């Protein structure tokens, strides 16, 4: 009889998530991204907007796949224990906020605003 193994969080998925986020930050900082400065048209602002949207997508994925990896578990913990009102639905709010802010930053980066 085959034994069933309990599902454990994937370390490979954690490494992929951290690598993508780290790569976005490193590339943006190489192009001159600095915190506290207003966004201006250019590649740096586009990369910053993509990073903000990436964080929001991670919150959204944590809503659906909270046990898939440790990063998603942590983001789900933030939504359930560190938010007011507490609950997994806060992931949708964080996703919407990051999508709104990230889209605005992208529009500035592309020169639309």
C-beta neighbour count of 18 within 10 angstroms: 13
As a whole-number percent, the residues of the chain with pLDDT over 90 amount to: 57
pLDDT of residue 76: 92
pLDDT of residue 102: 95
The per-residue pLDDT for range 83-112, each reduced to its tens digit, is: 888 888 899 999 999 999 999 999 999 999
pLDDT of residue 2: 55
The per-residue pLDDT for range 44-62, each reduced to its tens digit, is: 889 989 999 999 999 999 9
């Amino acid at each position: 009889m085959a034994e069933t193994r309990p599902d454990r969080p994937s370390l490979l998925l954690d490494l992929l998530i951290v690598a993508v986020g780290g790569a976005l930050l490193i590339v943006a900082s190489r192009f001159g991204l600095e915190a506290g400065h207003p966004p201006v048209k250019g590649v740096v602002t586009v990369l910053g907007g993509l990073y903000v949207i990436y964080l929001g997508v991670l919150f959204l994925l944590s809503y659906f796949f909270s046990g898939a990896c440790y990063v998603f578990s942590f983001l789900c913990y933030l939504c359930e224990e560190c938010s007011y009102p507490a609950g997994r639905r806060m992931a949708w709010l964080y996703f919407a906020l990051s999508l709104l802010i990230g889209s605005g930053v992208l529009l500035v980066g592309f020169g639309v605003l």
